[in-house]
């Protein structure tokens, strides 16, 4: 019996329609595809640009949605690669950061400086400029003890951190998590790798025991370091500009008919933060009214004491106190938590790190609100003002222990927060007849 040939059906030689749509990734052109609404949205810039600086600036809020996504994916990919290798640093300039008003930490800083300059006379060790004349630190005594230290014991200023961050090869943070946050605040753009010694209370970000600093530093300098990149936020304050005309509407100005008018607002300062941005009622006795936007959508109007917009690193800080979720720092997300919301239904939500959030005070709000950035630089937001929050181009490089385990973060929340700590349930004692 002869078999008839199956007729031609004109199907494309591909496994499924998705493969066809993805052919462009293999270098073959895809024809007759019209960009969707989401595709067109990818090419729009995410915030207002009154000075037309989008092509010259490093601010992520002025990138397109696609550029922000590519940037975030690139940082995550780099972080994954860095966590799997050891970096051999040619260390010459060492930055020491501690609390300049803490007597014990000043002593620890002096001890560390003495050890470093004794170990390698070629090191340049920088301490805060207030230490130069501090009686406890006794810089003159160090130089008198060993004249070879002269020219190698140096002093940093805030201006130097902002202007010349590339001067330093590594930061040694002596303190608690607040000291680590201070390092992030000092280095608003490029941050040298931060090796943090635990001398504080909690220690989510301080991975090394100070008592073992000679062994830790010797291994770091000789064997190399492993680095993890922590997501930071870029937060920009946008001020409403006075205009003649009818009653103004913040929703219309940000996502409505006036969204393309770049002169309704102008920037008034940008901060890169490691933990969270908080917009709250400040000293006002009444609750805040806050309009919340995500990309080009109006999410909701919030009636609450405020909102906390947190990085995964900051999930164990204010976010936790406000009832937000704990989040592993490797997750590519933004955590949004209301502070004492005047509703029963405002639950914390988790958003992708590629989103651009804007939190503003509506023009008809009864009072102004206040914004703070990692607990610093508290500023008033008057009606019409808003804050733009997006992933920063400048992540925060944390040095990890070389023998770091996968349970490191679980261990820290168990130790510091007593996560799921309770007395174990007793087993039944079977009765035998």
CB atoms within 10 A of CB 29: 7
Find out whether 118 and 102 touch, Cβ atoms under 8 Å: no
Look at the block and give the residue holding tokens 């996504």.
Answer: 69
Band of the pLDDT at 327, cuts 50, 70, 90? Answer: very high
Task: Indicate where the chain has its CATH 2.60.200.30 domain(s).
Answer: 233-391
- Check residues 257 and 203 and name the one with the higher pLDDT: 257
% of the chain with per-residue pLDDT over 70: 86
User: Could you tell me which residues come within 8 angstroms of residue 207 by beta carbon, excluding any fewer than 6 positions away?
Assistant: 196, 198, 398, 399, 400, 401, 404, 408
CATH topology of domain 93-228: Rossmann fold (3.40.50)
Of 41-55, 118-132, 218-232, the poorest mean pLDDT is in 41-55
Mean pLDDT of the 196-225 span: 91
Structure token digits, residue 8: 């031609």
pLDDT surpassing 80 at residue 431: no
Task: Indicate where the chain has its CATH 3.40.50.10330 domain(s).
Answer: 93-228
Average pLDDT in the chain: 87
Predicted model pTM? 0.85
Find out whether 65 and 46 touch, Cβ atoms under 8 Å: yes
- Helices 103-119 & 213-223 angle (0-180, nearest 10): 40
Q: What is the pLDDT of residue 370?
A: 98
Q: What is the pLDDT of residue 30?
A: 46
Q: How far apart are CA 321 and CA 337, in angstroms?
A: 10
CATH code reported for the domain at 233-391: 2.60.200.30
pLDDT surpassing 80 at residue 204: yes
């Amino acid at each position: 019996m002869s078999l008839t040939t199956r007729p031609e059906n004109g199907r494309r030689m591909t496994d499924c329609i998705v493969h066809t749509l993805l052919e462009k990734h293999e270098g073959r052109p895809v024809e007759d595809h019209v960009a969707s609404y989401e595709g067109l949205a990818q090419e729009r810039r995410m915030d207002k640009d009154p000075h037309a600086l989008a092509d010259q600036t490093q601010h992520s809020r002025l990138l397109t949605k696609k550029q922000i996504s590519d940037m975030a994916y690139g940082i995550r990919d780099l972080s994954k690669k860095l966590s799997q290798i050891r970096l051999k640093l040619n260390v010459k300039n060492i930055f020491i950061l501690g609390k300049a008003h803490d007597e014990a930490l000043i002593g620890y800083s002096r001890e560390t400086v003495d050890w470093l300059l004794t170990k390698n006379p070629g090191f340049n060790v920088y301490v805060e400029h207030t230490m130069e004349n501090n009686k406890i630190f006794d810089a003159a005594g160090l130089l008198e003890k060993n004249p070879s230290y002269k020219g190698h014991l140096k002093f940093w200023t805030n201006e130097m951190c902002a202007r010349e961050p590339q001067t330093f090869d590594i930061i040694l943070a002596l303190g608690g998590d607040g000291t680590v946050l201070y390092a992030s605040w000092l280095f608003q753009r490029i941050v040298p790798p931060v090796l943090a010694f635990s001398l504080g209370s909690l220690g989510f970000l301080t991975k090394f025991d100070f008592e073992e600093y000679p062994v830790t530093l010797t291994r770091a300098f000789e064997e190399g370091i492993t680095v993890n990149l922590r997501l930071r936020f870029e937060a920009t304050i946008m001020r409403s500009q006075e205009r003649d005309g009818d009653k103004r509407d913040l929703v219309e100005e940000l996502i409505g008919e006036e969204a393309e008018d770049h002169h309704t607002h102008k920037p008034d300062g940008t901060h890169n933060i490691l933990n969270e941005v908080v917009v709250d009622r400040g000293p006002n006795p009444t609750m805040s009214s806050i309009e919340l936007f995500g990309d080009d959508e109006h999410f909701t109007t919030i009636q609450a004491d405020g909102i906390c917009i947190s990085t995964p690193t900051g999930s164990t800080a204010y976010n936790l106190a406000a009832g937000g979720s704990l989040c592993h720092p490797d997750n590519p997300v933004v955590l949004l938590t209301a502070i004492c919301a005047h509703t029963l239904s405002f639950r914390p939500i988790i958003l992708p790190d590629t989103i651009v959030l804007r939190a503003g005070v509506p023009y008809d709000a009864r009072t102004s609100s206040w914004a703070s950035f990692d607990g610093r630089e508290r500023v008033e937001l008057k009606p019409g003002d808003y804050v733009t929050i997006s992933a920063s181009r400048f992540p925060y490089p944390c040095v990890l222990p070389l023998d770091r385990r996968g349970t490191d973060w679980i261990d820290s929340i168990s130790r510091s927060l007593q996560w799921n700590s309770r007395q174990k349930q007793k087993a039944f004692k079977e009765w035998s007849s």
